[in-house]
Structure formats: structure tokens, C-alpha cells
Amino acid sequence: MKKQHQNQQHVASYYAATANRPETYPQLQGAQQADICIVGAGFTGIASALSLAERGYKVAVVEANRVSWGASGRNGGQMIRGISGESRILKKFGSEYADLLWQMRWRGHEIIHQRVEKYGIECDLKSGYLDVASKQHQMADLEEEVALMEKYRFPYEYRLLDAAETADTIGTKAYVGALLNYRDGHLHPLNLCAGEAHAAANLGVQIFEQSPVTNIVHGASPRVETADGYVACKTVVMAGHIWHQLEQHRLSGTTFQAGSFVIATEPLSAEIRQQINPKDVAICEVNNIIDYYRLSADGRMLYGGRCNYSGRIPPSIKAAMLPRMLKIYPQLKNVRIDYEWGCSIGIVIRRIPMVGRIDDNIYYVQGYSGHGVNATHILGEVIAEAIGGTMEKFDLFAKMPQIRVPFGNYAGNQMVALGMLYYRLKDLL
């Protein structure tokens, strides 16, 4: 692993400032044993650990920094349906998988709601979400989504909004229309991940923080090694690490860092909140490169976006994001910005999560391309099912071809950034 991503505490985000649980977990020391060792304690690792523990497995999780240190604890907190790349999966496997994919695209929501209730996790979970269209041709995509909802008799409230209804709903005239639904929603991601980790630990999962993995020894009984110890196990899961340099011969040049950035205002007055988001929904643009925003539980505007594919962090996140927020909401021009932070999300070229196995007992899953909150929980369950011998859903992803960029560890992000200029131009035209 790269040293700059080891042994770090949570960044100074709104989420870290309002975290429920100050829990820390020990460093890995000496020899440990488990049925399954998971590398990474973000949403993928913790969701997988909890799914496996609920099935009776003895699980250990090894994390280089803190539970939910990366994008899992810093993202926009938007719980959005689906897994990126669904259309490509359907094209490869055929229409007979359409029903299964429809069920899977909402499965992460079900898991999150069930766990919040079952384990008493306080994470500001709230239903309500708006896909907003900046251009008229984007409404066709939303109409297709409505057609699917009608086909599958979607049981939650949903409806298309015209420009006037959209403006009434979110207090801006920036969009030509929107799709409102009340199954998608928003939450406090760090508190969700930490709450799931707490639940997993109560079920016997061993969690080790500040323990960067240095090597994975392959074999019938693999070992996950750190500088100060190791976990001997039967199965390894490499869970969502976009920075790791493990298994370079198989995985390098496949997943790239994309920067996404968020600012949080001071708590807004009730009057302003009523103007800009009276229904308290999460909002996300229908673009290839998106902005997304919502209100926090204490009434702040959390405004995110400006995704870049170069790996560079703006000198000032506030300076980069504030003009974008004010373009949508000029009424916030005199509001104080209390927090600014960024995260790196895993991007794969074909936008299909990378899921697979090495030597039958080393699993990997990474590269959600911005759909992490929902997709991590779906694929955490898929990995648990695969380890238990049920491979149908796992194979949907494992059999999808991925694109590997030559010299990806050195020049991959620059090549991806150039390619994304095409999609940015599509958004602008």
C-alpha cells in the first residue's frame, strides 16, 4: 500500500464531526485465525462481514486506517437504486435475467433498512429522492425508468415532475424536470458503516484497525499478513480497496481513483430549508459527471460533485464547489461554509463493479463508479452467498469482461481523465 493511505484518522468532515460512536478497534498483533479474512473496513468489507457473521462464519476484518475511513465515510450519503453497468450485464446474459436484476437493484436498500431496524443503527436514514434533468432529452431516460416501475408495480410513491413542479419541490429553476421516488433516500454514511461494524463485532467479528496489509499468501489455507501479525484463514475477501497494490499481476490497471468533493454549510434557517427543499429529499443530476446535494439531519446543505478523474485535489474544495452550489441556489450566497472535504471513489472503465476470484478462495470486489452505498450492500451479500456455494449472482459480475489499462498504476488516471472529457462534453451539449 502507499504510505499516504495508511494509519490515518478520519478527515475533518461533517460526518466525522457528528459521528455517533467513538469506537476504535485494536491493531492486528501476532497470529489470528478465522474462516474468512476481509481486507478493508469500508462498506464492502463491513457489509460482507455482517452478512457472513449472520450466516455463522468466523470473520476477521483488517483495515489500514479506521472503519469507514475512505469513501464509505465521506460520500454524499445518497442511497440510490441500482448497480452501475446493469444494461451491459443484461445485454450479455439476456432478458431472462431482467427480473433478477430489477430485484437486485433495490436489494441494498432492503438490507440497509433491515439492519437499521434490527441493530438499532442511528444514521439519519430518510426516504425521498429526486433525479433531476438539466436537458429535455434526459427526460426520456426518466420516462424509461417510470416504465420499469410500472412494469414491476413499484410499491413506493413515484412520479415524473415537470419543470414547474421540480422548481416547487427543490426551489430552483435549473432543471427541466425530475423523477421523484420514495424508496431511494439519504443517510449519514459514516454512522451507518460504524453501526454495522458495531453489530458485526457483537456477532463475533474481529476488526483490526491501523493494520495495513502487506501481503496475501495464496494456498489452500491463505494468510493475510501485516507488519505485526497475520490472519490464517480459509478464504480471503479483498473488499473495495481502490488504493491497494495487492495482487498487482491480476488487478493493476483496472480500477482508478476519481475525486469527489463536498461542502457543508452552517445549519440553515427553517425558512430557507422550506424554500430549497421542503420535502427533504436527496437530489442528483442525470449527467455522466454529476452534482448531488441534500440537507443533513441538522439542516445543513451538503453539496457535492465536481468529480475529476485526474486524481488531483483542488487547492480549495470550497472555492471549487461554492460557485456550483450558488448557481443552483443563489439564495445561499451569504451562508457560511463549515466543512469541506473530498474522497476518492473507485472507477472502472466499463462501469461494472469488478467481482471475481483468484485461486478459488481469494475474492475481490471493487469499482462501484459512484453507486457505493447501495451496491456495496448488494455485493456484500453476493460475496457471502458465493462463499456459501450459491454462485448465480456472483457469476453475473465475475463473467463480465473488464478493461485493463496498460501501465495503469502510472498513467491510468491521466488516460481515464482524457476519456472522461468525452462524457463531459456530452453533458454540456
Mind listing the pLDDT tens digit for each residue in 261-313?
999 999 999 999 999 999 999 999 997 678 999 999 999 999 998 666 655 67
The pLDDT of residue 60 is above 80? yes
Using an 8 Å Cβ cutoff, are 354 and 366 in contact?
Answer: yes
The pLDDT of residue 427 is above 60? no
Query: Phi and psi (nearest 5°) for 63?
Result: -125, 135
Enumerate residues 6+ apart whose C-beta is below 8 A from 340.
261, 262, 263, 264, 316, 317, 318, 321
Angstrom distances, CA of residue 75 to CA of 186, 370, 403? 11, 9, 26
DSSP one-letter code for 413: H
Q: Say which CATH architecture domain 3-74+190-255+349-408 belongs to.
A: 3-Layer(bba) Sandwich (3.50)
Mean pLDDT for the chain?
Answer: 89
Residue whose C-alpha is closest to residue 15's, from 63, 65, 76: 76
Q: What is the distance in angstroms between the CA of the first residue and the CA of the last residue of the chain?
A: 40
The pLDDT of residue 344 is above 70? yes
Q: What is the pLDDT of residue 428?
A: 46
Enumerate residues 6+ apart whose C-beta is below 8 A from 199.
50, 115, 118, 119, 121
Q: Which residue has the higher pLDDT, 384 or 258?
A: 384
Distance, CA of 299 to CA of 198 (rounded, Å): 27
Q: What is the pLDDT of residue 416?
A: 52
Mean pLDDT value across residues 239-255: 69
Q: What is the pTM of this model?
A: 0.91
